[in-house]
Structure 1
Amino acid sequence: MTETQQAPAGGTDQDGTPLGTVTWWEIPVADLDVSSTFLTAVFGWTFMPFGEGYLGILNGGGPETLVGGIFKAEPEQVAAAGIQVYINVRDMEDTLAKASAAGGTVRTPRTEVGGDMGWWAEIVDPGGRRIGLCTGSAAA
C-alpha cells in the first residue's frame, strides 16, 4: 500500500456487517423472467419481488440470505453497465462528502431502501464509474 492509499474503514455496523466491504450487488437485465429463469438454472438462485422492475436474489432460500438483485434495464444499459456493487459505510453523509472532495460526484443522495433495510446512495468516481453505498445507520 502506498502512502496515498488508505486501509479499508474496518469495524462493523450495528448489525455486525463489516464496513468498507461489498454488501450488495445488482445485475441489469433486459427481461426479468428470462434472466431469473436462466440464473436459477445455472446457479440455483431463487428470487423475490422487491419493488417495480426488480427481483431480489436469495442465495439459500430465505429472506435472511438476500444478497443482491436483478433489475429491468434498457438493452443499451444492460450491455454497458456491468454489475453494480454497493459498499457498506458507517456514515453515509461523511462518505458522500469525501467522494465529492476527492473529485467524484453524488449521483443519488441518501435514499431509503424500505422494509427497514437501511439506506443507499450512489457516487461516480472521477473516471465515470458508478459505485453504490449502503448503510444501516440513520443520518446523523
Structure 2
Amino acid sequence: MNTTGKINYIELPCQDLAASKDFFTSVFGWGFVDYGPEYTAFENAGIDGGFFLSQSCARTQQGSALVVLYSAELEATQDAVSKAGGEIVKPIFRFPGGRRFHFFCPSGNEFAVWSDHG
C-alpha cells in the first residue's frame, strides 16, 4: 500500500547489472524486472526498488545511506555472500540489538546484514 510520506522505493547505482542480479538472486532470493539495458527493478527484497547503470557506487565512507538486510542465520548468510562474489568488509560483530556484517556487492555497493539471533 502506498502511503504519503513513507519510503516507497529505493534506487541504487550499479556498475554491472547482470552480476548484481545473479548475486542478489542467488544469495537473497530477489527477483528482477528489466526496463531497458540500463535499469532493473528488484522485488521480493522487503522494499521495492531498482538498480540503475552507473560507474558510481553507494558506500558509507562516501556519505551514502546504508541498506541493511536481515538474516536469522547470520553466519550462513555471510558465507553465502562470500561464495557468491561479495566482499566482506566488516566481518560479523556485535552492536546494541544484535550482530551484523558489512559487504560490497559485485557492483561495489556497501550493504549490511544483521540478526537478533546469537
Q: TM-score, normalised by structure 2?
A: 0.49
Bigger relative CO (Cα 8 Å, ≥ 6 apart) = 2
Report which of the two structures shows the higher radius of gyration computed on alpha carbons: 1
